Amino acid sequence: MTAVTPSDATQHVSPRLKGRRRSRTLAIGIAFVGLIVAVALVSLVWLPYEPSDTSGGRLESPSWEHWIGTDKFGRDLLTQLMIGARIAITVGCGAVAVGATIGITIGLVAAFAKPWLDDTISATLDVLIAFPVLLLAMLIVAAQGASLGTAILAIGIALSAVVARLTRILASQVLRAQYVTAARTSGTRWFGIVGQHVLPNIWPTLGVNLALLFGAAVLAEASLSYLGLGAPPPNASWGRMLQEAQATFTTAPAGAIAPGIALVILVVGVNFIADGLRDLADPTRKRSR
């Protein structure tokens, strides 16, 4: 994949059309993510069945009693899907929060550090990034035992290397800018430089990438759960639903299709939002809208 800057990709499109298209992308993204968030919120106060209720028939097709059917133990799939939405959002937000906190801190330290320390940090990050996220997460889960907190921590730490490298690159670009020199000649101290100039100027790009990483975190959680390394029951995760429905896919496909569609809606939704945010977060680009 080659990096395409927004201006390359949209050069032939008039600014107004581009703006309209962007805001439509953003609206669709918000609708998709909003749907999943709404389901997750409803699951906190109301569920069609108890998660452990096995009173339904085994592998039932969708019906008025069980809207998307039941699993091989006779549990309601809609109930699991709703709990799964909660797990996906929790892990996504938690992992991005962990990854952003650790990653932005390390990235800023590297950007401000003396060259030798910067080089050491960068080389370490390159190694960590080459390491597959899932493998890194599996190692942490193996050491800590599977739980929701471990999944968040593991995925968050895995993401932090990516955030740190991006932050370092963006921050050192800002530090070379003349407005930072100008701010320093007027006596701004380094924490003022970080808070007033570096963070606001890297935020448009960083924010978009954090939204993209939210999608990656949701997929990583599904993969961990699929492998049996995610949050244990009763935390029904979409990944585990997929795994449990796999053996009976040909006879009862709803058990795999439902969490699959839910994953796609959430991940596509955050990616659309990320795309739409690119313009909103940067006031210097607004004049072309």
Partner 1 sequence: MSLLRIDRLSISSASAAPDARPLVDELYLSLEAGARLGLIGESGSGKSLTSLAITGLLPSGLAGSGSITLNGVEVIGADERVLQPLRGPVASIVFQEPLTALDPLMRVGRQVAGPIRRHRGLRGGALDTAVRAALDEVALPDLDRMLRAYPHEISGGQRQRVAIAIALASRPALLIADEPTTALDVTVQAEVLALLNRLVAEREMALLFISHDLAVVSSMVDEVVVLSNGVAVERGPVARVLSAPEHEYTRRLVASARALDNALEAL
Residue ranges binding partner 1 (CB under 8 A): 177-179, 181-189, 192, 196-197, 200-201, 282-284, 287
Min dist CB 177 to partner 1, Å, is 7
Min dist CB 189 to partner 1, Å, is 7
Smaller CB separation from partner 1, 5 or 251: 5
In whole angstroms, give the CA distance from residue 61 to residue 68. 7
Min dist CB 196 to partner 1, Å, is 7
Residue with tokens 């990438």: 209
DSSP states along 13-63:
S-HHHHHHHHHHHHHHHHHHHHHHHHHHHHHHH--SS-TT---SPTTPPS-
In whole angstroms, give the CA distance from residue 159 to residue 137. 10
Smaller CB separation from partner 1, 12 or 287: 287
Min dist CB 6 to partner 1, Å, is 17
In whole angstroms, give the CA distance from residue 69 to residue 58. 9
Min dist CB 172 to partner 1, Å, is 10
- Asked whether 85 and 32 are in contact (CB, 8 A), the reply is no
In the chain, alpha helices (H): 6-9, 15-45, 77-112, 115-130, 133-144, 148-176, 178-185, 190-192, 199-226, 238-246, 254-280
Tokens matching residue 177: 């800018």
Min dist CB 209 to partner 1, Å, is 17
- CA 265 distance to own-chain centroid: 13
Smaller CB separation from partner 1, 115 or 250: 115
Smaller CB separation from partner 1, 81 or 111: 111
Smaller CB separation from partner 1, 250 or 284: 284
Smaller CB separation from partner 1, 161 or 175: 175
